[in-house]
Structure 1
């Protein structure tokens, strides 16, 4: 295999390996309208959110509150790969859904952000 072809194959592999997501991928195409109908403040529970979006990164607080974080985008590894970082940047291609649950496991707040 020629060196340039080997480099292209390595870069393609690095780009694919650099994709990162949390949950079942539903956040990738989530619109603000769909978020508002799926995540009902004061009503939606952990079970509802888990069914809609899958497993999240969970942060638990001593007061009983939890924050669930869903992210879709390119990991920081992409930024350190020469030439690939010219085409893809983790800072330019991320979407994040964060959900705050109260002590009873009911949604208190949520935020959908594109970065």
Structure 2
């Protein structure tokens, strides 16, 4: 009976483990290779980029060039966060992020672009501290 209770608690925790995302989900799975195939400097236009990825998260100007920034991030809580008492000893989350920055020529074509990704694990609780 005790094993069934433990299995039920663990299964419930796995089901309700939290996942949150923010930003532009259209760039979630974009790779460097895909960008190289899709975006041609001096040829691909703002309209093409908007058709591929939607509206940018941020629009700025630098030295007269228009800059579009796309961002996506997600965070997933560790299952132990949802287990009473266990979460005091070990809890945390995993985070991933991605950004793509496009710089446009004055004629509206891509001048340059960069893509970057990040990932991080944060831990807390008595066992999670370094």
TM superposition score normalised by structure 2: 0.60
Q: Look up the match of 2:40.
A: 40
Rounded Cα–Cα distance in structure 2 between residues aligned with 1:46 and 1:63: 18
Rounded Cα–Cα distance in structure 1 between residues aligned with 2:115 and 2:29: 11
Q: Please state which structure has a larger fraction of its residues in helix.
A: 1
Q: Look up the match of 1:21.
A: 23
Contact 1:58 1:66 in 2 (8 A): no
**1:31 Cα deviation from its structure 2 partner:** 1.6
Q: Which structure 2 segments of 5+ residues have no match? A: 1-12, 83-90, 119-130
Q: How well do the aligned residues superpose, as a CA RMSD in angstroms?
A: 2.9
Q: Please state which structure has a larger fraction of its residues in strand.
A: 2
Cα deviation 1:33-78 (Å, max 9, x = unaligned): 1111111111110000001111112323275311111111137xx8
Rounded Cα–Cα distance in structure 2 between residues aligned with 1:97 and 1:32: 10
The higher radius of gyration belongs to 2
Moved over 3 A (4+): none
Name the CA shift for 1:87/1:53 in 2 (closer, same or farther; >3 Å): same
Instruction: Kindly tell me the number of residue pairs found equivalent between the two proteins.
Output: 96
Cα deviation 1:96-115 (Å, max 9, x = unaligned): 11111122211000011111
